Structure 1
Amino acid sequence: MNAMAALQQYQTVNTQVQAFEASPHRLIQMLMEGGLTRIAQARGAMERGQTELKGELISKSIAIVGGLREALDHRQGGELAANLDGLYEYMTSRLLQANRNNEPALLEEVAALLREVKSGWDAIAQ
């Protein structure tokens, strides 16, 4: 096993252990962090012309946003949950458009929106 493969395996196991031990609040933070990471990686792949990798990373970003959307509690969250649901739907649409049109600015737009939501989530006392 080469060093890069070993590092990736360690990161996978480390992330799984962290997720297993994490509170629900922390799990949402981890999803947001993962989304931001995948978007940044997708932007790099887009800039390098790595079409297949870009598509995979944007797909992972979409799945993460979908996970955030599924985690919304509309019964308890009321209007806030409805607003976040709409925002996550918009993010998904923009990610699809970024992938289709190779527009890094759209990836940055989604990243900025996700950072804004994450800063609010991070400010919530656990």
Structure 2
Amino acid sequence: MRGSLQSYRKVSLDTQLADASPHKITQMLLAGALERVAQSKYAIEHNNTAAKGELIGKAIGIIQGLRNCLVMDDDSEVGTNLSNLYEFMLASLTRANVENNAAILDDVSEVLRTIKEGWDAIPHDMHHITAHAS
């Protein structure tokens, strides 16, 4: 049954991605990172070291991907600020993993939530512009 559910989720995600704009994909990545951080926190709190490492690794991968998609103009304060926030989160996730510290994950979640809220607040008619500032 679990395999069927995972297959359904993958098909559903693949369908969403096929129809998604760059703006929507960024929203999905931010939501995925938030979910992985929450799952990592749960794993730490329940002493599940293997799951913690895997989930933090997935969160790092998502955030690294977001950072790699940034278009850095010479005068882009937004891009620079996002890059700095992504670097902070990457370092914090690594530290949380090494120190087995769930409280650090709360800081990462707060930053991710703030970025996602800002991203979600962008009006639909401006989504074509945000494809360059992710």
TM-score, structure 1 length as denominator?
Answer: 0.94
Determine which structure has the larger helix proportion and give its number.
1
Q: Is there any run of 5+ residues in structure 1 with no aligned partner, and where?
A: none
- Cα displacement string for residues 37-68 of structure 1 (whole angstroms, at most 9, x for unaligned residues): 11111111111111011100000000110111
Q: 1:72 aligns with which of 66, 70, 73?
A: 70
Q: 1:102, 1:31 → 2: CA distance?
A: 24
Structure 1 runs of 4+ off > 4 angstroms?
Answer: none
Q: Please give the TM-score of this superposition, normalised by the length of structure 2.
A: 0.89
Per-residue CA deviation, residues 8-47 of structure 1 (Å, 9 max, x unaligned), is 1111111111011100100000000000011111111111
- The percentage of counterpart residues that share the same residue type is 44
1:1-126 counterparts in 2 under 5 A? 3-75=1-73, 78-126=76-124
- Deviation (angstroms), 1:75: 2.1
Q: Where does structure 2 lack aligned partners over 5 or more consecutive residues?
A: 125-134
Residue 77 of structure 1: how far off its partner (Å): 7.4
Count matched residues.
124
